[in-house]
Amino acid sequence: MQQNNDIQTENKLKFHVFQDERFVDLNLYQYGWERTEPLHSYGPHARNHYLFHYVIAGRGVLYDDDQAYKIEGGHGFLIVPGVPTTYVSDREDPWEYTWIEFDGLRARESLSLAGLSRRQPVYTPLNREAGRLLQEQMLYIVNHPQASPIHIIGQGFLFLDRLVQSSSAHREQSQRRLRDFYMKEALSFIEQNYQRDISIEEIAAFCGLNRSYFGKVFRDTMGESPQAFLLHYRMARAAQLLKESTLPISAISAMVSYANQLHFSRAFKSVYGMAPRDYRTAHFVQPQETP
């Protein structure tokens, strides 16, 4: 269920929060538009997800460690998870920008194809028209906060595609490698079997690989270990059930393969920073009454 926390200031700021744990390939967390004040700054702060700004007009600077990147209208910048950054709008010609915070299985791959990374955070479009089309796609998402979650996520995929295709650092996607096939097999197996106590050895065997090589291929492709991915996948499913059902926590624990509710609670807290009961209290969505 989508929950929007919207902030809108006339002619200055639009800000929307998107909360839905069901989307694994791509998820959006917040997005907006702002016409900043002179010397407006944010940071130093480390994000939990990828954050991309497209600068519509004005100038400013992004600071990452000891690096400083000057960014002006028609360009953009990427902030990667876990890296403290600060960005500051110019005194004389402050930024107007739009942004999207996102993550998911396809996020890292798409950013790589766009030629964007921590070491290469500045987006430069192929030409002015390419940048304009990316801007339009981002503003469409910002200006339609009441659209359905599936519609918003679909627009998010279009944003990623536009980002890749419009980037001057765009890299051609190579032919599907064998490891891509293995990962599709692994993800399909996890999706169908996460409810039971499956092991990494079992997933690797399903893909026809030994455990060591499977672990390396999975980490290289997904950016995290199979164990971490399986944990996050199960906890995301549990979080959705906590928000949208009244099932006992013991039942939800069993549905994501945890026979021991205490072990489930510890695992859930390691991912969401709070116990399952507290998470339900904070996020439970009351079902709407049918007319």
pLDDT at 245: 92
Give residue 183's pLDDT: 86
Give me the mean pLDDT over the 236-259 stretch: 94
Confidence (pLDDT) at 291: 46
Predicted confidence band at 187 (pLDDT cuts at 50, 70, 90)? very high
pLDDT recorded at residue 290? 45
Is residue 1's pLDDT more than 70? no
* Digit-coded pLDDT (tens) for 152-184: 999 999 999 999 999 998 865 554 566 777 888
pTM for this prediction = 0.62
Handedness of CA 243, 246, 247, 249 (dihedral sign): positive
- Residues linked to residue 103 through DSSP beta bridges, in sequence order: 27
d(CA 209, CA 228): 19
Does residue 220 surpass a pLDDT of 90? no
Question: Which residue(s) pair with 68 in the sheet?
Answer: 63
The pLDDT value given to residue 234: 95
Tell whether the model's pLDDT for residue 54 goes beyond 60: yes
pLDDT of residue 2: 43
**Between vectors from CA 93 to CA 88 and to CA 99, what angle results, nearest 5°?**
50
Q: What's the whole-number average pLDDT of the chain?
A: 88
Domains defined along the chain, listed by start: 7-166 (2.60.120.280), 178-283 (1.10.10.60)
- Structure confidence at residue 285 (pLDDT): 75
